[in-house]
Amino acid sequence: MSRIKEFNLPDLGEGLTEGEILAWLVKVGDVIELNQPIVEVETAKAAVEIPAKWAGQVQAIFHPEGTTVEVGTPIIAIDTDPGAGPIEESTTGAPASALPTPSAASLAAVEVAPTEGAVEPGLIGGPAPGGRTAVLVGYGPRTTAAKRRPRKGGLPAQASAAPVQAAPAPVAPAPVTPAAPVSPAPGANGNGRAGGLVLAKPPVRKLAKDLGVDLATLTGSGPLGSITREDVQRAASGTPAAAEPLTVTAPATAAASFGADREQRIPVKGVRKLTAENMSRSAFTAPHVTEFLTVDVTRAMKALDRLRERREWRDVRVSPLLLVAKAVLLAVKRHPMVNSTWAGDEIVVKDYVNLGIAAATERGLIVPNIKDAGRLSLRDLADAMTDLVQTAKAGKTSPADMSGGTLTITNVGVFGVDTGTPILPPGESAILAFGAVRDMPWVHKGKVKPRQVTTLGLSFDHRIIDGELGSKFLRDIGDFLADPEAALLAWT
């Protein structure tokens, strides 16, 4: 059994397919322990630390910081028995000093990402905050490929997949003999591969199927003749493919944020990429309806003041959002169809509420959720919301915390905005926008008086929620905020 083990990027949950290597926490030659954090990876949902699957000594690191790597791709090689002495030469005669390299399948599927300009810290696509979340290594990741940023020097695609750090001389890693290049054979398809074998990633195959393109008829322009999305799209549109060398081009020299054309190009990746995909899918899948309600919340604000004065609540963070969350949870009990999902030929109504709270972070918009929030007391709900916000601000929200949401609140009022028309998170049927609480003239008991007023905006999936149900749900939320004590007495 080989001492040298390649560690693949694991599936970090919820079907994530790739991650960007933010920082290596170890270097070649380091002796590491089982479950020791070895690399920090930013997925489309969170920045996470990945622990080592084996104890041993780091022999090679295959991808530098800043590389986007797909799940299942080897990222590091570990000698699991460094005390056994030098690693012997392989039967192929390869020298003992040869570094392990990713498998031939990984090499074949390396895809060069487009050149990216420099992005300043704090901007979407720029450096992420230092928050990290420890996670367990996933099981059974699928074997796919890595997307690499271009390097200087115009190296061939095969060479670009070599380890980025050399092992120290005293410690020689096990050799791996790379697969021989595939040569065109008689009867091969457009990719120079016999027997109808087509080199293409699963997303590319799905795209070809959706567009009705036969991959066997295409000549791939990707590394080692692999077929890319552009090849499929050109074939679907009838545009001939231009010949492209299978090399890695050098990246553009880092420059100021704005070029001579006074434009900045920000790479779309990570949280921003996931948000864009989710919002586009939701906006063009679920027929959205948005209703608005302006509410006098003066009594609710006074109730919060009395709550803060209670001895057992003095160390608890109490905000208007807490009462909004409680109002939503009580309204869901009265109108359970709001907490449901459209599943094609059926509607799935859920007896639990995973309440999402939209949070703006340095990495972009994220929506972590409080699991089974409807079963929590008001005090437990307050603690859960405080923990959720602090974790999000620290950049430590895990993918699991952002998965499985059933209904969401977005607090646009913190930005001084009255309300909005929020887009539904995929799989949810309602989202509430909570606007700013303002002192406004209001007719109270027949007289115009200054009162504390807010505006609520409820967007819902009209396939599930009709106008009557949506209006009653929003009206109940408003009634609770107008007089929380009376609502609690009447509903509970």
Report the run of H or E that residue 5 belongs to, with start and end.
strand 4-8
Crossing angle between the packed helical segments 467-482 and 298-309, to the nearest 10 degrees: 50
Question: Is 288 annotated as catalytic?
Answer: no
Beta strands in 320-474 (DSSP E): 340-342, 347-349, 355-357, 359-361, 364-366, 369-370, 407-410, 430-434, 438-444, 447-461
18, 147 contact by CB (below 8 A): yes
Choose among 172, 161, 177, 139: nearest CA to 57.
172
Separation between Cα atoms, residue 222 and residue 377, nearest integer Å: 56
Q: Which candidate in 63, 288, 335, 462 is catalytic?
A: 462
Q: Where are the alpha helices (DSSP H) in 110-258?
A: 157-160, 202-211, 229-237
Cα angle 33, 141, 178 (rounded to 5 degrees) comes to 80
Q: Both tokens of residue 443? A: 């007719």
Q: Is 436 helix (H, G, I), strand (E, B) or coil?
A: coil
**Dihedral, CA atoms, 184, 189, 194, 197, nearest 10 degrees?**
120
Q: How far is CA 214 from CA 25, 198, 220, 230, 241, in A?
A: 44, 10, 12, 14, 15
Residue ranges in 175-228 assigned as alpha helix (H): 202-211
Angle of helix 467-482 relative to helix 320-334, nearest 10 degrees, comes to 140
What CA–CA distance (Å, rounded) separates 1 from 4? 9
Which 8-state DSSP code applies to residue 318?
-
Give the list of residues 6+ apart from residue 464 with CB closer than 8 angstroms, or none.
Answer: 337, 340, 342, 347, 429
CA distance 168 to 97: 10
DSSP 3-state assignment of 358?
coil
Catalytic residue ranges: 462
